[in-house]
Amino acid sequence: MNAVYKKELRAYFYSPIGYAFIGIFMLMLGVIFLVTNISGSSADYAAALSGASSFFGFLVPLLTMRSFAEERRTKTDQLLLTSPVRIISVVLGKFFAAVTVLAITLLLSFIYPVILAILGSPSWGEIISAYVGFLLMGCASIAIGIMISAATQSQVVAAVVTFGVFFMLLMTSNVIKLISSEFLRRTLTALSLFDRMRDFTSGVLGLSPVIYYFSICAVCIFVTVRIIEKRRWSGN
* Global confidence as pTM: 0.89
The C-alpha atoms of residue 79 and residue 81 are separated, in whole angstroms, by: 6
Per-residue pLDDT of the chain (236 residues; tens, 9 = 90+): 788 899 889 989 998 999 999 999 999 999 999 998 888 888 888 888 888 888 888 899 889 988 776 666 656 556 666 666 788 988 999 999 999 999 999 999 999 999 999 888 888 888 999 999 999 999 999 999 999 988 887 888 888 898 888 888 777 766 766 676 666 666 666 667 877 787 788 777 778 889 999 999 999 999 999 988 887 666 55
First vs last Cα of the chain: how many Å apart? 23
Among left, alpha and beta (phi > 0; psi -120 to 50; other), residue 41 is: left
Q: Give the C-alpha separation, 196 to 156, whole Å.
A: 29
pLDDT of residue 155: 83
Q: Which amino acid is at 50?
A: S
Which pLDDT does position 69 carry in this prediction? 66
Find out whether 145 and 101 touch, Cβ atoms under 8 Å.
Answer: no
The pLDDT of residue 153 is 79
Dist. CA 161–CA 145, nearest whole Å: 9
How many beta carbons lie within 10 A of that of residue 7, not counting itself?
12
- Per-residue confidence (pLDDT) for residue 174, from 0 to 100: 67
Give the per-residue pLDDT at 177. 66
- Centre a 10 Å sphere on the Cβ of residue 76 and count the other Cβ atoms it contains: 10
Checking 152-158 for CB contacts under 8 A at 24+ apart, the result is: 152/69, 152/72, 153/69, 153/72, 153/73, 154/69, 154/70, 154/73, 155/65, 155/66, 155/69, 155/70, 155/73, 156/65, 157/69, 158/61, 158/64, 158/65, 158/66, 158/67, 158/69
